[in-house]
Amino acid sequence: MTINIVAVGACLLFVAAVKEPGKLLLSEDFSGASLPAKWQPGGRPKSFSIVDGALQGVCSLDDNHGPAISVPIEGRNLTIQFSVKLAKPGMVLFLVDGDSQFGGTAHLLRVALGAKFAALQQDRGSLESKQAQAAEKAKGHKLAPPTKEQLADPKFYRTEMLDRKTVNIADGKWHRVLVEIRGNEAVAKVDDVVLRATGTVFDVTKSRIVFLIGLAGTMQIDNVKVWDNP
């Protein structure tokens, strides 16, 4: 595979086919009959399978979280490529996990793909704050909007919107996604739509990538590649 590189802000975005950007960490085309050995499904059993040479994930109508599947990687500055198709409209989340500023690992970057939009988001805050908020939701409590004091606290858990664009992926067709993280800069390209963001949590060692399907959707994922760039 060959890749053209074009400058986008402070990052390099790999858009089409001259040399691979760095060390290839992962290449998966789901050509086997069962889930690849290192891919770890979570959520409701049998949510993920191999269908027509692609990874398929199905979210049940009554599943408020949605199932996820992850694969471990180890790198810092990454380029990620995959193809996605919404066989049934829903929400696809692609997540990059890594070292947390508060210890352990956490979601760092989110690429959210809805029926009519694509977005770049980052997760900030401590695991304790995230768990406390989840416990309140589990009790049926509606969380109040964050106060100024909470948002000023770096430990207060929140998901921050960094960029959002209109994209139509609810057409049942394959769409190509490219993501690059360099330091705290992130760029994503969904077909011809480019999203850019400067975050505060990205410049750490990454440990896994995750695909999640929600909102009663059915997604297919194929041709996943990850490079670690110098």
Residue 7 is predicted with a pLDDT of: 36
Q: How far is CA 6 from CA 78, 84, 132, 187, 206, in A?
A: 16, 23, 43, 12, 24
> With pLDDT > 90 as the criterion, what percentage of the chain qualifies?
81
E strand or H helix that includes residue 14: strand 11-16
208-219: average pLDDT: 97
- The CB-side HSE value for 212 (13 A sphere, CA atoms) comes to 22
Go through the domains of the chain in sequence order and give each one's CATH number: 23-125+158-228 (2.60.120.560)
pLDDT at 6 over 50: no
pLDDT at 114 over 90: yes
The string over 123-156, giving b where at least 16 C-beta atoms fall within 10 Å of a residue's C-beta and e elsewhere, is bbbbeebbeebeeeeeeeeeeeeeeeeeeeeeeb
Q: Report DSSP state, residue 10.
A: T
Give the length of the chain: 230
Q: Report DSSP state, residue 173.
A: S
**What does pTM read for this prediction?**
0.89
Handedness of CA 133, 139, 145, 150 (dihedral sign): negative
> Which range (28-37, 112-121, 143-152, 177-186) has the least confidence?
143-152
pLDDT at 218 over 80: yes
Q: Which residues 6+ apart lie within 8 Å of 207 measured at CB? A: 72, 73, 74, 97, 98, 99, 105
96-103: average pLDDT: 92
> With pLDDT > 70 as the criterion, what percentage of the chain qualifies?
91
